[in-house]
Amino acid sequence: MKKLLFLILFIFGMNLTFAQDNFDLSTLRIGPYTVFMKNKDVEKFSKSKLTSFMGDDDYMKTNKVNYLGEVIEISIMQNYDDQGQNTGGYQIYSLMTKSKKFRTKSGMGVGSTKDQLIDAYRNYPNFSVAQMWDEKTEKISTTKSTFTLTDNDAGTLLSFIMINNVVTEVSVFMNEGC
């Protein structure tokens, strides 16, 4: 009886270990999605084909996907080969979420404060803090700012958008080098 109980607990424990959810947040990813991920890999998680918005006013449009009840917004771009020819596929350009579940290894995410970000990333080699533009007033915002980590090796940025010094959304996107 003890052996049977031990076996059942062991199998149950192994299932929990292998079925862990991915709520990782880094300079490359939000959950299972990574910047530069190709369409076939994206569709494994999203269970559908994402839309590429190509109009002049479409640069702000995103695909909303549900990952374990949490919304991740994905922007994609056409994929090109080494000769500059369109392959017909796409890759992820940027990711964004307002979910509190996604966290960095340092525990930072939506709900973190500016002071917590500075304490956590004080020794990070390349970060910046800046005020953001307010579209309504057409001036620099006094309440909205961004804390950005630049990963030069990966060619990406992790940006924490803050209102009144509290993170309200997190974005990961390609660094275009501008």
Per-residue pLDDT tens, the chain, 178 aa: give them: 666 545 455 555 554 444 458 899 999 999 999 999 998 888 888 887 787 776 666 666 788 999 999 999 998 888 888 888 888 888 899 999 999 999 999 999 999 999 999 999 999 999 999 999 998 999 999 999 999 999 999 999 999 999 999 999 999 999 987 5
Per-residue model confidence (pLDDT) at position 86: 86
Parse the chain into domains and list their residue ranges: 29-174
In this prediction the pTM is 0.81
11 Cβ neighbours under 8 A, 6+ residues apart? none
Non-local CB neighbours of 95 within 8 Å, separated by 6+ positions: 29, 30, 33, 35, 72, 73, 74, 75, 171, 172, 173
pLDDT score of 124: 95
Beta-strand ranges (E) seen in 15-62 are 29-30, 33-34
pLDDT of residue 2: 60
Strand segments (E) across the chain: 29-30, 33-34, 63-67, 70-80, 86-97, 127-134, 139-151, 156-163, 166-174
Q: What is the pLDDT of residue 18?
A: 44
